[in-house]
Amino acid sequence: MARTFAAVVATTIAVILAAAGCGGGDEAEQICIPQEKECDGSDVVKCNADGSDWSFYKACPDGCKDGQCKSNGTCAPACGGKECGDDGCGGTCGLCGAGTTCQAGTCKAGACTPNCAGKTCGSDGCSGTCGTCYSSGGAADPSLCQANGTCCVQSCAGKQCGPDGCGGVCGTCPAKSTCTAQGQCQQSCVPSCSGKQCGSDGCGGDCGVCSDGICLNGKCGCEDSTDCSDESICYGSPGKCTMAFGRSYSFTLADATILEGDPNDGFSAWDVGGGMPDVFVECTAEGTLVFSSTVKNDTLSPMWWESFNMVVAKGQYFECTAYDNDVSDADWIGAFEFKQGIPASLLKDGYYGFDAGDPSYGFQTASFVITPN
Task: Return the residue of 331, 338, 349, 356 that touches Ca ion, per CB under 5 A.
Answer: 331
Based on the shown chain and the rule CB under 5 A, indicate whether residue 124 belongs to the binding site for Ca ion. no
Query: Closer to Ca ion at the Cβ: 87 or 278?
Result: 278
Query: Closer to Ca ion at the Cβ: 238 or 275?
Result: 275
Quick check: 208 and 196 in contact, CB under 8 A? Answer: yes
Q: CB of 277: closest distance to Ca ion in angstroms?
A: 6
Instruction: Measure the CA–CA gap between 338 and 13, rounded to whole angstroms.
Output: 123
Based on the shown chain and the rule CB under 5 A, indicate whether residue 306 belongs to the binding site for Ca ion. no
Based on the shown chain and the rule CB under 5 A, indicate whether residue 260 belongs to the binding site for Ca ion. no
Instruction: Measure the CA–CA gap between 49 and 109, rounded to whole angstroms.
Output: 14
DSSP character at residue 329: S
Task: Return the residue of 86, 141, 227, 271 that touches Ca ion, per CB under 5 A.
Answer: 271
Instruction: Measure the CA–CA gap between 85 and 130, rounded to whole angstroms.
Output: 11
Based on the shown chain and the rule CB under 5 A, indicate whether residue 40 belongs to the binding site for Ca ion. no
Query: Closer to Ca ion at the Cβ: 207 or 330?
Result: 330
Based on the shown chain and the rule CB under 5 A, indicate whether residue 275 belongs to the binding site for Ca ion. yes
Query: Closer to Ca ion at the Cβ: 164 or 324?
Result: 324
Phi, psi of 12 (to 5 degrees): -60, -45
Q: CB of 231: closest distance to Ca ion in angstroms?
A: 41
Q: Which of the residues 279 through 298 are near Ca ion (CB under 5 A)?
A: 298
Based on the shown chain and the rule CB under 5 A, indicate whether residue 323 belongs to the binding site for Ca ion. no
Query: Closer to Ca ion at the Cβ: 43 or 324?
Result: 324
Based on the shown chain and the rule CB under 5 A, indicate whether residue 265 belongs to the binding site for Ca ion. no
State CA 242 to chain mean position distance: 33
Residue 88's alpha-carbon distances to 12, 131, 139, 165, 237, in angstroms, are 36, 8, 11, 20, 73
CB atoms within 10 A of CB 247: 15
Instruction: Measure the CA–CA gap between 256 and 363, rounded to whole angstroms.
Output: 8
Task: Return the residue of 86, 87, 124, 324 that touches Ca ion, per CB under 5 A.
Answer: 324
Q: CB of 265: closest distance to Ca ion in angstroms?
A: 8
Residue nearest to Ca ion (CB): 275
Based on the shown chain and the rule CB under 5 A, indicate whether residue 227 belongs to the binding site for Ca ion. no
Based on the shown chain and the rule CB under 5 A, indicate whether residue 326 belongs to the binding site for Ca ion. yes
Read out DSSP for 123-150?
A: B-SSSSBS---B-TTS-B-GGGB-TTS-
3-state secondary structure 8-38: HHHHHHHHHHHHHCCCCCCCCCCCCCCCCEE
Query: Closer to Ca ion at the Cβ: 23 or 261?
Result: 261
- Footprint of Ca ion (CB under 5 A): 270-271, 275, 278, 298, 324, 326, 331
